[in-house]
Amino acid sequence: MPARDGACASDMWESTFVRSYKNLSDHDFELLVAELLGADEGRVYEAFARGADGGVDVRSLGPDGCLDVVQCKHMEGSTFPQIRSKARVEATKLRKLDPQPNRYRFVTTHSLTPGNKTELRKLLSPWIASDDEIIGAEDLELLLNRHVAVERNHVKLWISNFALLDRVLHSATWVRSERMLEEIAETLPRFVDTGAYGVASDRLHSEKVLVLSGPPGIGKTTIARMLVADAVSKGYEPIEISEDIEEAHSVLEESRLQVFIYDDFLGATFLHNRLTKNEDKRLATFMRRCRRSKNTLFILTTREHILQQARSWYEELDRLDLPLSRLLIELRSYSRRERGLILYNHLFHNQELTKPQKRSMLRNAGYLEVVDHPNYNPRIIEYTTANYSAAPQGTSTLDFALWNLDHPERIWQHAFTQQLDDDCRDLVLILSSIPSAITVSRLHPVFDAVVAERGRRPPQGALRQALRVLDDSFTRASNRWAHEPEIEIANPSVSDFAASWLRENTTDARQLLDGAIYFEQLEWLEAQVVRASKTVTLQEALERAFMRTFDAGPPTWWFDRAPSAPLGRYGEARLLFIRRVRRRAPSVGSELFNEWWKEQMKLAVELWRTTGAHDLASALTLARALLEDEQLSSDEQSAITAAAMAADSTSDWSLVVSVIADSPSLFDEDARAFSARFREWAEDRLSNSIEEVSDLEELYELEAAAESLGVPITSHLWSSAYDDISNRPNDEVPQGENSIRPRIEVEDATDGELRRLFSRLGE
């Protein structure tokens, strides 16, 4: 660590202050002791060498073969008789230890009197010969005061102790950020330090601006708050940005030491500001001000997927010469070791779970099933350990954890029914029915429609308030393609839960169908809800929704419906979907709906005959299906033939060729007519529009279509096209300075390492 940390921390502690180790797990404490003794003696100590059951927590093997063993007992808050009892157990283990240690020490977080040390020495004799080989809390204080850098390496230790002392000595400093201090204290015990804190601290002080990015639950916010606490220890005033960057501009004083934190700065909470206030430009400007000031630090956090989509922000940083590659630290996805430590910390620090309940994780090495589960997520682990009291009677902690991981959607039920109001619940159901991210402006009308179906009139701003409540739990926001922020369900398990809820609550399902304004909603509702329920009420609501939404544009902003075109851009695909639904439920279909269907097919025939299909693949599939049902009229057959003849891409012609091979009776023209049309099109493409052939794969596809139709195309056209495509320059774009760097993988934990870690629960 840099010297600046040591100078500050050594002045911070008063002589009467004794550090607390309550936020450390026993494994954390062993790592601390190994580094502390190594720094004091100038040698390397191994932590976690054999596991707790062998009597060795920390050891050092010298070049002369001398074995130095250290036993660590993290027993803060325990009584001396409990410490004494543990020492007796260790003495029994020591007798069996092979090889025997040349030196043995006993370290505990408990405060010891000289008499206590003498009593422990006698219990551990002959391995311990003098009282100074018994290290208690006061001895640890002296060691930590001598080796401040070691303490800084163990961020959970120094942050918790600094915050406790500073709150007493300089409480006024924390007035604006009291909530931040409370949240540090709450999350710190379960935090797993992957080494990112030290890197982040150095980067922040060198660059003045730091952006922390990573997946949900990886610890971005915790690290950011720890960095703020570190800055406060150096005299900085903490300022938490809660609305938009304008409040930071208004309080920035470059003559004062100030540290700003902007948590989830690209998230949904500030949607309105980014839509209306050029937030990206003002944010980049503030970052530049911080970089130029010697007294200002600025910490930002964002979720990984949002950062990668915020292209407009990248451009603004480029314009102001702010190199993202130097400001950004990406926190990796969880390694197997980190998964294990997260689970272990949640168990170790949970005071509600009994020892037998924690030990259930050891059954058949069940912790490995949890750590390696494909649905592993720290939030599921937190839910399991915090809500075990709600598990069915007789269910073990292991079984409860595995059940939650196997059925993550069930975790949402309690929050959905007990913690959300009507607007939030409706929004979860609506977003589950929409297959992709949707902008707030396109979400608003469907929210209003569903709420109206419910018979409610929510106040102005209800949607935005609901988004604030749901953000980063049920939903997440992104800034894709620099258009406007979009909202989507945060996790597929939320949609799974919503589908289950709607199947059991058909009134909610009907009202969602009657309030739907996008056709794409119906695809999800039919597959996940209507098909399973098989109720006439929902089938009828679905038919009404088909007619109401058929001409609607999609919920995604980047595809706009072709203006005034028959059927629109999506007509064939939607007709094909409706036809499949009608086949699954042939008994349902009102006279009004049947007449509407006939009218849409007339529009399709007119489109195919005059201009060709918008979506040839869907049109051909629909026509083939109607032919199989003996429902394809001669007029429709003639129209689909005309649409096929109008094919104008390699992929479309490949599709036509495959249909001719599989269903030759679909067309009212023979293969010779298609061959002549294809030859005309292909020779024009190869002679005059070769730039539209994207690559050699497409050229080979075109050649295969020609062979299938028996179309002879002169060899010089093929060879010329091949040479043209082969000689094109490589379009690969080099990775620029502002690109996001790939993650670096590290060697991961073995089953044996995890077994030794979790075996501590069996003590």
The residues with which 259 forms a beta bridge, in sequence order, are 238, 297
| 140 lies in the same domain as 191 | no
Question: Both tokens of residue 49?
Answer: 């060498």
Q: How confident is the model at residue 260 (pLDDT cuts 50, 70, 90)?
A: very high
Task: Please give the tally of structural domains in the chain.
Answer: 3
Residue 741: the pLDDT is 28
How does residue 661 score in pLDDT terms, banded at 50, 70 and 90? confident
For residue 414, tell me if it sits in a domain. yes
Given a cut of 90, is residue 97 above it in pLDDT? no
Domain contains 672: no
Tens of pLDDT along 153-187? 887 887 766 655 454 444 445 555 566 666 677 77
Burial 427-450 (b: 16+ CB within 10 A, else e): bbbbbbbbbebbbbebbeebbbbb
Predicted pLDDT of residue 166 = 54
CATH number at residue 416: 1.10.10
Q: Give CA separation, 106 vs 26, 29, 140, 231, in Å.
A: 14, 13, 12, 35
- Considering the domain boundaries, does residue 397 fall inside one? no
- pLDDT tier for residue 502 given thresholds of 50, 70 and 90: very high
In this structure, the answer to whether residues 179 and 317 fall within a common structural domain is yes
Read off the pLDDT of residues 692-743 as tens digits, 9 standing for 90 and up.
887 777 888 888 888 888 888 888 888 888 888 888 775 333 333 332 222 3
Boundary (domain end) residue, out of 491, 512, 532: 532
**268 is in which domain, residue-wise?**
170-330
CATH number at residue 310: 3.40.50.300
For 16, 42, 701, the CA distances from 696, given in Å and listed in that order, are: 77, 63, 9
Q: Determine the pLDDT at residue 53.
A: 43
Say yes or no: 200 and 317 in one domain: yes
Look up the CATH number of the domain holding residue 121.
Answer: 3.40.1350.10
Percent of the chain with pLDDT over 90: 31
What tens digit of pLDDT does each residue of 360-379 get?
Answer: 999 999 999 999 998 887 87
Q: Are residues 147 and 175 in the same domain?
A: no
Q: Evaluate whether residue 687 is within a structural domain.
A: no
Residues 182 and 258 in one domain: yes
User: In the structure encoding, which two tokens stand for residue 468, read together?
Assistant: 């604030």
Q: Does position 233 have pLDDT exceeding 80, yes or no?
A: no
**Helix 378-386 × helix 336-348 angle, to 10°:** 20
pLDDT on residue 371: 94
- Note the pLDDT of residue 130: 94
Q: Are residues 421 and 512 in the same domain?
A: yes
Q: Which alpha helices (H) appear in 261-323, and where do they start and end?
A: 271-276, 279-292, 304-307, 311-319
Q: Which of 118, 153, 188 is the last residue of a domain?
A: 153
Residue 278 has pLDDT above 60, yes or no: no
Give 41-84 pLDDT, tens digit per residue.
998 898 854 444 455 678 888 878 889 999 999 987 789 999 99
Mean pLDDT, rounded, for 221-227: 85
Asked if residue 661 is part of any domain, the answer here is: no
Identify whether 523 is part of a domain: yes
Could you tell me if 447 and 298 lie in one domain? no
Number of other CB atoms surrounding residue 278 within 10 Å? 13
pLDDT recorded at residue 179: 61
Verify that 125 and 178 share a domain, yes or no: no
Does 561 have pLDDT greater than 70?
Answer: no
Give CA angle at 441 (438, 446), nearest 5°. Answer: 75
pLDDT of residue 50: 42
Residues 75 and 218 placed together within one structural domain of the fold: no
Q: Are residues 228 and 118 in the same domain?
A: no
Secondary structure element (H or E) that encloses residue 37, with its range? helix 26-41
Burial group, residue 243, by CB count within 10 angstroms (0-12, 13-18, 19+):
exposed
Output the pLDDT for position 558: 45
User: What is the band of 277 on the pLDDT scale with cuts at 50, 70, 90?
Assistant: very low
Residues 438-452, mean pLDDT to the nearest whole number: 94
Evaluate whether residue 657 is within a structural domain. no
pLDDT of the residue at 356: 93
Model confidence band, residue 1 (pLDDT cutoffs 50, 70, 90) = very low
Q: Is 439 helix (H, G, I), strand (E, B) or coil?
A: strand
Please give the Cα distance from 187 to 176 (Å, whole number).
20
Q: Say if pTM beats, i.e. exceeds, 0.75.
A: no
- In this structure, which long-range contacts are made by residues 714-721, counting pairs with CB atoms below 8 Å and at least 24 apart in sequence? 717/683, 717/686, 717/687, 718/686, 720/686, 720/690, 721/686, 721/690, 721/693
Residue in the structure block whose two tokens are 């994207």:
694
Residues 233 and 275 grouped into a single domain: yes
Percent of the chain at pLDDT above 70? Answer: 81
What's the token pair of residue 67? 């074995």
The string of pLDDT tens digits covering residues 20-52 is: 898 899 989 999 999 999 999 998 898 854 444
Residue 35, domain member (yes or no): yes
Residue 564 pLDDT exceeds 50:
no
Of 330, 347, 376, which residue constitutes the final position of a domain? 330
Q: Are residues 92 and 230 in the same domain?
A: no
What pLDDT is stored for residue 462 in this prediction?
A: 92
